[in-house]
């Protein structure tokens, strides 16, 4: 079986969707649904069982699954970059991952692929290279990024990175992010305003070297992120930390232009002040260094920003649609 923690979430449910397309259905979903709308991501998918995250980790450690696990995609985490409860983030994002990795030490016949984050790079002062011997140089700007960085450092110290994979996802957007509230992509949040009122709001820049809307990010479509993730399922001898991005930095103005073009509306951007609580934690530039992943043999070509936004709007946002699998796709 394959286990996907965070399997009802954004990237996790997209991984289940792609596995279904490969004809894989013996999948255990691990998540915590609470009062969220995440359950809607699961409705169009096929899987064999569901565990709450607390029940799962206890069952895993107790040997409930025996030797039946082929791989664990550990995508489950609190991904809010504005969450301020450090104890919660460390328990949920760091300690929980430590427990899975500790179990994996005794069960290395199982593949373990976990989600780190590009938030670990902080303001990019030391670049965006995924070399493990440079991890100690990184300075995350928020506790979310630090909770991810803590595990990366531990995995390096303990030698776990010799037989597990950590993935630093950059700015992922696309279908199945609807439940994420303020953590949804700007594309998702802005589309109704673009469609109905013909305008978009972007943060003004607080740095002279960046004009308003010219802050740069590496935006990657969720389908591309998933295909790059599954490269590591298909290549079990490749381990370590890797960036998951496009390798191209695009501006928020370009995102807006792509969105207006997809919505067939004239460009109309309103620049608004950046909230005070974000000014010291805002990343003005991110761009994944993709050389390590390419050297490992991953040749996947990502969709352009314009193509991805067009598909997202046409096939999903316009229809309020989720990633959906039907057996005829197998």
Active site residues: 144, 180
Q: How far apart are CA 136 and CA 128, in angstroms?
A: 13
How far from 96 is each of 85, 99, 251, CA to CA, in Å? 16, 5, 35
One DSSP character per residue, 44-87 reads TS--SEEEEHHHHHHHHHTTTTTT---EEEE--S---TT---HH
- As a residue count, the chain comes to 330
Query: Distance of CA 327 to CAs 17, 45, 50, Å?
Result: 11, 10, 20
Q: Closest Cα to residue 78, out of 16, 28, 31, 40? A: 31
Contact 272, 204 (CB under 8 A): yes
The rounded distance, in Å, linking the Cα atoms of 91 and 86 is: 8
Query: For the chain, what is the radius of gyration of the CA atoms?
Result: 19
Q: How far apart are CA 131 and CA 53, in angstroms?
A: 31
Q: Report the SS3 class of residue 259.
A: helix
Q: Helix, strand, or coil here: 21? A: helix
**Spatial CB neighbours of 304, under 8 Å, sequence gap ≥ 6:** none
């Amino acid at each position: 079986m394959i286990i996907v923690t965070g399997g009802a979430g954004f990237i996790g449910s997209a991984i289940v969707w792609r596995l279904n397309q490969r004809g894989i259905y013996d999948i255990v979903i691990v998540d915590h649904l609470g009062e969220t709308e995440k359950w809607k991501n699961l409705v169009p998918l096929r899987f064999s069982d569901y565990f709450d995250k607390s029940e799962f980790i206890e069952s895993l450690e107790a040997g409930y699954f025996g030797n039946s696990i082929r791989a664990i995609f550990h995508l489950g985490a609190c991904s809010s970059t504005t969450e301020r409860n450090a104890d919660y983030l460390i328990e949920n994002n760091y300690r929980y991952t430590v427990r899975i990795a500790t179990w994996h030490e005794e069960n290395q016949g199982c593949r373990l692929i976990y989600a780190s984050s590009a938030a670990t790079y902080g303001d990019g002062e030391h670049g965006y290279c995924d070399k493990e011997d440079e991890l100690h140089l990184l300075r995350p700007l928020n506790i979310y990024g630090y909770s991810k960085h803590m595990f990366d450092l531990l995995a390096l110290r303990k030698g776990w990175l010799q037989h597990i994979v950590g993935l630093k996802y950059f700015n992922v957007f696309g279908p199945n992010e609807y439940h994420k509230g303020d953590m949804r992509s700007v594309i998702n949040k802005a589309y109704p305003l673009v469609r109905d009122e013909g305008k978009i709001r972007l943060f003004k820049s607080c740095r002279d070297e960046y004009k308003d809307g010219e802050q740069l990010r590496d935006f990657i479509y969720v389908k591309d992120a998933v295909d790059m993730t599954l490269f590591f399922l298909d290549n079990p001898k490749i381990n370590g930390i890797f960036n998951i991005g496009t390798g191209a930095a695009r501006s928020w103005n370009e995102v807006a232009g792509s969105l207006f073009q997809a919505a067939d509306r004239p460009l109309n951007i309103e620049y608004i002040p950046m909230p005070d609580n974000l000014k010291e934690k805002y990343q003005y530039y991110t761009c994944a260094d993709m050389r390590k992943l390419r050297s490992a043999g991953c040749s996947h070509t990502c969709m352009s920003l314009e193509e991805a936004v067009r598909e997202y709007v046409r096939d999903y946002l316009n229809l309020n649609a989720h990633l959906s699998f039907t057996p005829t796709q197998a």
